[in-house]
Structure 1
Amino acid sequence: MKILIADDSRVMRQIVIRTLRQAGHGGHDIVEAENGRQALEMVRTESPDLVLSDWNMPEMNGIDCLSALRASGSTVAFGFVTSEGSEEMRERATSAGAAFLIAKPFTPEAFDDALRSVI
């Protein structure tokens, strides 16, 4: 399985990768994007099976990236890993087509629970 991690923080991308490993999902092919626009392009070029995206990023945020993917006909599994964990944000994510939203700070167990529905 190929997983695209989109976050403007390189450190946060590394934390997400480490947490995936801790959750027992370390054997996947990982590709990284620095913002939503790059993630949108990489879905086309890399064909990931899952996108894990931050919400707030420069150039294009995560919710706009998800909306653009769905508008283009993409059905790639998409989940948010973000500090935006309010009920309103969860509803916006679900309405836009996200499979889940994992709020920071997160645990390996939270990743495993969320990924079980898409892997």
Structure 2
Amino acid sequence: MKKNTMVALILICSSLSLIFIAWIFVIGDHGSTDEFNAKNWPKTKEKAIQTTVDYFKKEKNLEVTVDEVSSSGEYASHEIYLKGHVTNNKQEKFSVTLDSSKNFKVISIN
């Protein structure tokens, strides 16, 4: 009787482990938002750059150059991070965070 119980416990634990691993795979594969997938990232990146350039031109009366664009890499995050400098002045740097879920709204500037 003990042997049958032990086999049943091993089968149940193995099954639960496989279900958990499959769940992790599904979440990891489908957890990021659409704008960050490989197909849409170039468009997202371009819109983020244009939004940043327009923001600085309108709000700060500055021409800027964006040097780096990245996403947070976090599960289901909508944040896009941009770094750059004022055009013709590489010493005056900036960093911007945009929220792509809110029409690329600027949420922070440093």
Taking structure 2 as the reference length, the TM-score comes to: 0.29
Relative contact order, higher structure (CA 8 A, sep 6+): 1
Q: Which has the higher helix share?
A: 2
Taking structure 1 as the reference length, the TM-score comes to: 0.28
